[in-house]
A = this chain, B = another copy of it.
């Protein structure tokens, strides 16, 4: 019999027992947001590729403007203008300037750009500069932003829309991303009917399959449905084996009765190795984890709220490990709206609503007697009360992880 493990022990176990799959594929840029980079991205060119002005104005030599002022402008010869989208492949002679738009190229010899507001075009081929420039002023030089070989994004990064902009800028039209892990989802329980059926006496709808499927997809994994299996060890074994054959990981949820948990343990042991039986959290204790080769076989609690928390805290990190994902979740601090007991010797996870009141962010814990809908629907996130904490007073700060 395996001992119940703390959350930290479970996360260490996951790290130790499972290796990244190392399978990558090429993904067009437009489909890349949310995907996990399989390798670092390095620039292969200079950005910008030419020295550019960051203002509308006149490119010139700063030294030619030193000491000028509104009263005594520096008079420079206007040597023409640079057009947007064209190069400036000429040298600027001394005491000359050239008009450049924002983003325009500047000619050789120029080392600053003076904003048009501080100049006066006399219309006779000369321009007055009313404010002295300084070398580098209002310019961005070739490679200032990136240069060949510079790492733009690390492997394991989950790509954002902003990253995509940067990739477009360096001409990346596709990226090498980790393949989505394929996760078989099995629900078990004689009492379960699919969500589109009306439950008969003693029956309930299968909530875990749609819930887990949505969570997996959100996370960038692929969910494969294996439907609802009756509480029958033989049938369950067949389904688990079929799912393990076709998928990278298998999640079995339900089987709240002791007999089914035992059956799931026996099945996992027969398929490979049982690694974990029980996590010291509430809700979520009756969780099992095993592996067949590098394939995780996960048994989640039947209660959807417990299944949801365990999936969030352990299954997603495990799938992230398989995909080489390196991304931290950040929490938002909020004040508890009411005191909350917690004296379990296990970490307690509580869903909450977030409210704003007088500039403060408040977390209103959702209490309900095993109520699943009220615990899930409309919640903004969840917070964790430490194992050794006997409860939190009203006004205590909690760290809320957002859904």
Beyond A87-B201, A195-B171, is A215–B377 a contact (Cβ under 8 Å)?
no
Inter-chain CA distance A305–B138, complex, in Å, is: 17
A332 on interface, CB distance cutoff 8 Å: yes
A200 on interface, CB distance cutoff 8 Å: yes
Q: Per-residue 0/1 for A182-206: is the Cβ within 8 Å of any B Cβ (1 yes, 0 no)?
A: 0000000111100110111111111
Inter-chain CA distance A7–B218, complex, in Å, is: 32
Residue in B closest to A104 when the chains form the complex, CB atoms: B202
Whether A171 contacts B196 by the Cβ 8 Å rule is yes
A134 on interface, CB distance cutoff 8 Å: no
A243 on interface, CB distance cutoff 8 Å: no
Q: Per-residue 0/1 for A345-389: is the Cβ within 8 Å of any B Cβ (1 yes, 0 no)?
A: 000000100101000010000001111111011111000000000
Contacts of A63 in B (CB 8 A): none
Flag the segment in A17-25, A42-50, A72-80, A270-278 that touches B.
A42-50
Beyond A84-B189, A103-B191, A201-B105, is A330–B371 a contact (Cβ under 8 Å)?
no
Flag the segment in A8-16, A151-159, A287-295 that touches B.
A151-159
Whether A206 contacts B168 by the Cβ 8 Å rule is yes
Flag the segment in A125-133, A139-147, A317-325, A336-344 that touches B.
A139-147
Whether A231 contacts B157 by the Cβ 8 Å rule is no
Contacts of A235 in B (CB 8 A): none
Please give the number of chain A residues whose Cβ is less than 8 angstroms from any Cβ of chain B in the complex: 100
Beyond A214-B165, A403-B162, is A84–B231 a contact (Cβ under 8 Å)?
yes
A402 on interface, CB distance cutoff 8 Å: yes
Contacts of A332 in B (CB 8 A): 330-332
Contacts of A376 in B (CB 8 A): 162-163, 165-166, 169
Whether A144 contacts B201 by the Cβ 8 Å rule is no
Whether A168 contacts B152 by the Cβ 8 Å rule is no
From residue A366, how far is it (CB to closest CB) to chain B in Å?
A: 11
Task: Among A50, A84, A165, find the residue whose CB has the most chain B CB atoms closer than 10 A.
Answer: A165
Given contacts A83-B202, A88-B202, A165-B211, 20 further A-B contacts (CB under 8 A): A49-B204, A54-B370, A84-B190, A85-B190, A85-B203, A87-B202, A89-B201, A101-B256, A105-B202, A145-B368, A145-B371, A152-B373, A160-B403, A164-B214, A165-B214, A167-B377, A169-B207, A173-B195, A330-B332, A333-B333
List 11 contacting pairs A-B, 8 Å CB cutoff, sorted by A. A30-B214, A103-B256, A145-B374, A161-B211, A161-B215, A166-B377, A168-B205, A168-B211, A169-B204, A170-B373, A172-B195
